[in-house]
A and B are shown apart, each in its own frame.
Chain A
Amino acid sequence: MAVDQDLKIELGKQGVFITTLQELYNWGRRNSVWPMQFGLACCAIEMIATTMARYDLARFGAEVFRPSPRQADMMIISGTVTKKMAPQVVRLYNQMAEPRYVIAMGACAISGGPFKQGYNVLKGIDRYIPVDVHIPGCPPRPEALLQAFITLQKKIDAQPLTGPGRPRFLDAAAQGEFPVPVPGEHDLEPAFNQGVWPLPVLQPGKKD
């Protein structure tokens, strides 16, 4: 149930603050998203630049980089995920406590980017863990990372606490643990996690 904005402002002028539980709850969640101190490749340097004085990630309540996944709310996949690194990334994600979010930063994290044809490069981390925001770019500018933060905050703000579309940690049936891939004979096994990454389906009747 939404509160009439004009009424809210009017009451606010008179010293009365009203809100809904959902609004308050989401306000708290979106303004203290602590990222994990976790850099993979080139994009990590731009991530560091974003936290510095010029771009100042602290404005969005996300300046506290935590080295431990247990204390972090958000994982920024900043760079190329190789097949040697992918199991650790998934394991780190599994170790994070809910609520947790993932930003795939840069072309490599989204799809393998310029290194896609390499034999050792994962073609997108969204094959294994759910990604909330993708940022293209090689590397994305710090402004792009800030835009991703704002997008994530809007996404959190819009989540209802009950019913369909509620966050994963309020849904008892939602998947919490994601299988960690292991090196197989030719590729990582499994090649992707069911339910996270739908296999692209060719539609024979459809013409591009």
Chain B
Amino acid sequence: MRDYWRINQQRLAPVLFLMPGLLMFVVYVVIPIFQSVNISLYAWDGLGEKEYVGIANYVELMDDEAFYTSIKNNVIWLVLYMLAIPAGLFVALFLNQNVRGIRIYKSLFFFPFVISQVVVGLVFSWFYDPSYGLFNKVLGFFGADPMAILADEDWVTYGIIIAGLWPQTAYCMILYLTGLNAVDSEQIEAARLDNAKGLKLLWYIILPQLRPATFIAMVVTIIGALRSFDLVSIMTNGGPWGSSRVLAFYMYEQAFSEYGFRMGYGAAIAVVLLAIMMIYIVGFLYKMYRDERGY
């Protein structure tokens, strides 16, 4: 037995080391993905018998106005969330100096990312409050009428996205600060000797060197935008009249809420969300694969 181990240990060791982690991951993540796809073909209240309905849930989605609202909002999230990347770069450039106390400034600017989105959501609900919120105080200062952003169908999603941009910008900022730390100073000096400066220097010399940071920032921002759930749930609960729903939230609402426990229908929404995300996941894996092969 001992000899068998000694001779074969290089083949056995990986199995041994992988087993516990892989087992947990397969049980809790991999298998549920397939189960969800399967459940999306059933009508099920979560307790009773499942009834096979084929693609009926998906057919119903096609006619569901709330589903289109959610998709539309997801697209708005996706597009506007990307603003966190240039905004993060801007803040990083502003803070990339060596004055006294700058390290404290950098950490304090990073703060919004460390705190929970629940707290961010509460803070911003209050910021937008039509009677007391600072937002309306500012509007009032400029002579505008108060606006109940979170109760306004046309504005609510934008209001929530701005709340989301706050921590996300902090995240992108830290990525760029790290990236800026590593730019090649000789290249910059050389470019400066050639009289490159300002935006031109940034665009042609700095940004290409920041590409790894930009890539990570894009990945986390896209995933973050598509995962948006916490803020919607805290700030508006999907309202008013469902106008701030996103897919992640709508799915939750269908599966576990007073609207009834429609697990199958919820699962179908989740499958659509996964399909959208797969575009990015596959892209990310493809890039990783190329890096691994060293192309």
Partners in one complex: no
